[in-house]
Chain A
């Protein structure tokens, strides 16, 4: 008899569940809180174990029943990466747990492959968008990322056996297999914690936000600030490894602070002096609050992304103001 009182459902603690090892941490948390029995957990383990055996068979094309431990660990990562991609796409821990209960690991793996295929499609669409919104500057790393590096990574992407890795196609690899290729163009907000296609998709989402911001200021303003940056550094126009959006964002925030004409990125030496003196008189917290307000007022690109990017720059900005070195941080002229 429950006297009309409903039994409380076991509650998952989201803090114990990690996106980077979703299936494993979700199942462990479910066992911990009583949402999954030990028998169900053991059955899941057994199913995964058999599915890994199937993958070894597929990987060796039936020629070998054993593989080197390194290969087995890569295949295990591939298996769980695909399953995680499907479970994460459900967007809810309880729905994901229900799927784990209803499906065998083999079924989850097949659904995972479909989920990763969708991610590849979304990422390819983002690449098209990033190319369409490309900033017109001769920076090698920036253009190479869009024209060559990212397309190569998509071409070499192995959904079945290495979805957690990013590598160019086999014939263009210089490094050994179990190592990720890197994109050399730095983002203002680097992608942290994501691997495989999730990394590439996030990278392109960030890049699209940066492109949109720059395009909102217009190609001339961006080309001019970039040219000035290279001239000051004495570098050729294609070589600097610099995030172009960061150059624009910093100048835009200080131009807004100085109430310059909307949409301008140009700052003079006098502008820098004024900003330096005015901001030095505030304690760092107040200074931060003033500048953050300027960031939200920009109405260019993606405001949330701009705020995240500026937060990362805030220590350098404070440091420059306190050391009378704002001119070195901003592009002047």
Chain B
């Protein structure tokens, strides 16, 4: 891969800078839609989110070209009853981190849309807006089933969380 890095990434990381600027613009453009829910990102918050995204991709050994997941997360979570103008940017950062972590840990067995839908259901339901519970309890249990090949659990949006077979130490 070493010979390819320079041609894909550019010796001075120019492409990365261009991409960061483009994602920042995309994030600011979402304000148009989210403003009706009272949620607006400032330019510095958007830039910070881009940094969180880049760090999270690196830590989870992932590559994403373009804005990708963050726009889908905003689109879904802007209607959340637990997100307000005070915690909007911070929650988005945490959700993004959780999203990339579970994508990698599930070895990409869950599609972006399915994972975001599940995250939303859990966040709005049993987690009551807590990203800690989402990451540390509910999604971890779900991940175990996914890794055991129980991906049938992912496709039923009406599936009741309480019917998931619990693992004792997690209760």
Contact = CB atoms under 8 A, between A and B. Distances in A.
Interface of A: 18, 20-21, 23-25, 27-28, 42, 44-46, 48-50, 52-53, 56, 60, 63-73, 76-77, 80
A45 B7 contact: yes
B36 interface: no
B7 A23 contact: yes
A88 to B, nearest CB: 15
B103 A64 contact: yes
Interface in B91-105: 100, 103-104
A68 B8 contact: no
23 contacts: A21-B3, A23-B7, A27-B7, A42-B10, A45-B7, A45-B8, A45-B9, A45-B14, A45-B15, A46-B18, A50-B65, A52-B65, A53-B65, A60-B108, A63-B111, A64-B103, A65-B66, A67-B62, A68-B62, A68-B108, A69-B61, A71-B63, A80-B7
Closest 3 CB pairs of A and B: A65-B68, A66-B64, A72-B63
A66 B62 contact: yes
B6 interface: yes
Given A63-B111, A64-B108, A76-B1, A46 B15 contact: yes
B69 A70 contact: no
Given A21-B4, A42-B10, A45-B15, A65 B108 contact: no
Interface of B is mostly: helix
Nearest to A70: B61
Interface residues of B, number: 30
Contacts of B8: 45, 48-49, 52, 76
A63 B68 CA distance: 11
B112 interface: yes
Nearest to B100: A66
Nearest to A64: B112
Nearest to B7: A24
B62 A76 contact: no
Contacts of A72: 62-63
B38 to A, nearest CB: 27
A250 B4 CA distance: 43
A200 B10 CA distance: 33
B15 A68 contact: no
Contacts of A80: 4, 7
A112 to B, nearest CB: 15
Interface of B: 1, 3-4, 6-10, 14-15, 18, 57, 61-69, 72, 100, 103-104, 107-108, 111-113
B49 to A, nearest CB: 15
B24 to A, nearest CB: 17
A24 B2 CA distance: 11
Given A63-B111, A64-B103, A67-B108, A24 B6 contact: yes
A71 to B, nearest CB: 8
Nearest to B69: A65
B103 A63 contact: no
Nearest to B61: A69
Contacts of B10: 42, 45
Contacts of B18: 46
Contacts of A68: 61-63, 104, 107-108
A56 B10 CA distance: 19
Given A25-B3, A45-B8, A56-B63, 6 more contacts: A52-B65, A63-B111, A63-B112, A66-B112, A68-B63, A76-B8
Nearest to B4: A76
Given A66-B68, A66-B100, A67-B63, A48 B1 contact: no
A64 B111 contact: yes
Nearest to B18: A46
A18 B2 CA distance: 13
A63 B111 CA distance: 5
A68 B105 CA distance: 10
Nearest to B19: A49
Contacts of A56: 63, 65
**Residue among A42, A66, A73 with most chain B CB within 10 A:** A66
B66 to A, nearest CB: 6
A24 B3 contact: yes
B65 A49 contact: yes
A65 B100 CA distance: 11
A80 B3 CA distance: 11
Nearest to A28: B6
